[in-house]
Amino acid sequence: MENHAITLIVNGQEEALLVPSNMTLLHALRDGLGLTGTKNGCEAGECGACTVLVDGEPVNSCLVLAVELDGREITTIEGLSSNGKLTPLQQAFADLNAVQCGYCTPGMLMAGTALLRRNPNPTVEDIQKALVGNLCRCTGYQRIIDAIMEASRNGGTR
């Protein structure tokens, strides 16, 4: 199979990649660019561990081909903090112990970030709806919801 030469703008940086047609964005990020913060869970669009932002909108990176996204802006978990300073949402996850095993956390943070950008003052129900596609088998979700509420009071995503 022929490789496609594409450019992705990942966390603000231009990345030139040579990808086969069947390579998903998930594998391009993890295996092509070494950005292993984005997790591989179900590879079927159900668990949300692979959630990243494409042009600011959350998508399951396991269900998008890298070649489809030539020229687009991708934000991964590695791109949230700047100069070591966590976003209010990341800080709230740490402060409120919204993390146990941590595997779902990058996806939760990306979905939560996207939610707070489109709705800076979500209700608990808004948060629950936004996280339907992010499974967590440890926390029972309550602390994750608390952390997103806390972040919405503390300036949201930035």
Partner 1 sequence: MLARPGLPDFEYLKAESPQEVFNLLKDKGPDLKLMMGGTDLFVQMRDRDSGPGTLLDIKGLPGMQEIEFGKTVGLTLGAAVTLNQISAHKDIRKYYPVLCQAADTVGNYQLRNRATLGGNICNASPSADMAPALLIYDAELILESPGGERQLPVAEFWVGPGKIALKEDEYLKAIHFPPPPEGAVGQYYKLGRSKMGDLAIVGVGMLGYPDPETPAGLRFKIGINSTAPTPYRVPAVEDYLAQHSLSDDVLSQAAEDAMDISAPIEDIRATALYQKKMVRNLTKKGLKEIWGSLK
Q: How far is the CB of 85 from partner 1 (least distance, A)?
A: 26
Which x/- pattern, by CB under 8 A, does the window 5-44 give for partner 1? ---------------xxx-x--x------------x--xx
Q: Which residue type, as a one-letter code, is found at position 120?
A: P
Q: Residue 59 and residue 89: Cα distance in Å, rounded?
A: 19
Q: How far is the CB of 38 from partner 1 (least distance, A)?
A: 13
* Footprint on residues 114-153 left by partner 1 (CB under 8 A): 114, 128-130, 132-134
Contacts 24+ apart (CB under 8 A), 82-88: 87/113, 87/151, 87/157, 87/158, 88/151, 88/154, 88/155, 88/156, 88/157, 88/158
User: Applying CB under 8 A, which residues contact partner 1?
Assistant: 1-2, 4, 20-22, 24, 27, 40, 43-46, 48, 51, 54, 57-60, 63-65, 67-68, 111, 114, 128-130, 132-134
